[in-house]
Chain A
Amino acid sequence: MMVCGSCGMMVNGEPSLTCKTFIRDLPDKVRVEPLENFPIERDLVVVLDDVMQKLQQAQPYIIRKDAPPPEDEEFRQSRAALAKFKQLTLCINCMCCYAACPQYGLDNSFMGPAALTLAHRYNLDSRDQGKSRRLNILADHDGVWECSFVGACSEVCPKSVDPAAAIQQMKIDGAVEYWKQKLGFSGGGS
């Protein structure tokens, strides 16, 4: 259970992974609906094209400024460095966070919880050097600043990824990066 992220639905108004939602835990009347905030294709199927595009905009891959290590070597990472972002790698793209987010519902130009969290996961990765490149997009109007910290995304997340926390950390990073660039020592880096 809880590995593929394809069964996100509204169960009694709450974004849930239906594979881990049991009838015995619910009241007598159960109302199942397609995920909130997404266009409905048919029945319980929603259109996720918009979010798929946003996940790509987050540039979810390791960006290097320095040369990568030689072919026969690998990127080394300490356990402490991994611990900083491990929790954020648990996201299974079930999109429950988008269904819970009123900001995304009101204006879907907002990047949204999962995409921003994914970007933060790479920003925190000690092997990555693309933070300034990502923040140029994500610390913009449709990025982290559209989030007003309702916190619903973190409450419904079945994997306890805590997207709301990631976004607040990105706001701090974005502000620091902004002043770095403004004051002329934009190192970028990780």
Chain B
Amino acid sequence: VSRQPFVRPMSKTTWYMRNKRYKVYMLREMTSLLVGFYTFLTIWALAALSANSPDAWNDFIVSQQNPGMLVFHGLALLYFLFFQTFPWFRLAPKAMPVHVGEKKLPGAYIVIGHYVAWVLISAFIFWLVG
């Protein structure tokens, strides 16, 4: 008798609806859309700068200061925090475990280290911007 194993098809477009784990993963991956948007914004800002006219730059600044844009930036920041910063910092001890002798350094130290570095670097950037 020849074997005829049955292969269950997996939808290329809706597989992530299968369980909650996959959905959360897709929400995390969707930050790539925001990254795309901010890339576009950076190119726009650079174009405004290279236009060599103060008006072009002012137009760009004003366009980012209207209430709708401010709300969008705020929401984008929250989305990045909850779907990138928090989960990746939580996972950091897995990617870079530190062994001290026979014992593993508790993950909390590595996570806290990441948050401290984050605060310091943010403070430095704020100081640069003035």
Contacts and interface: CB of A to CB of B under 8 A. Distances in A.
Bound pair: A and B? yes
Interface of A: 13-14, 36-37, 39-41, 47, 79-80, 83-84, 100, 102, 105-106, 148-152, 154-155, 162, 164-165, 168-169, 171-172
B95 A168 contact: yes
Contacts of B115: none
A154 B29 CA distance: 19
Interface in B45-100: 91, 94-97, 99
Contacts of B96: 169, 172
A11 B107 CA distance: 31
A41 to B, nearest CB: 5
15 contacts: A37-B10, A40-B5, A80-B101, A80-B102, A83-B104, A102-B10, A102-B15, A106-B10, A148-B25, A150-B22, A154-B94, A165-B94, A168-B91, A168-B94, A169-B97
Contacts, number: 64
Contact of B19 (A13, A79, A84): A13
B8 A40 contact: yes
Nearest to A14: B19
Interface in B1-58: 3, 5-8, 10, 12, 15-16, 18-19, 21-22, 25, 29
Contacts of B95: 165, 168-169, 171-172
Interface of B: 3, 5-8, 10, 12, 15-16, 18-19, 21-22, 25, 29, 91, 94-97, 99, 101-104
B21 A79 contact: no
Given A105-B10, A162-B94, A168-B94, A152 B22 contact: yes
A83 B94 contact: no
A164 B95 CA distance: 9
Given A37-B10, A102-B18, A106-B12, 11 more contacts: A13-B19, A14-B19, A39-B5, A40-B8, A80-B101, A102-B15, A149-B91, A150-B21, A152-B25, A155-B21, A165-B94
B97 A83 contact: no
Contact of A47 (B5, B15, B16, B104): B5
Nearest to A46: B5
B20 to A, nearest CB: 10
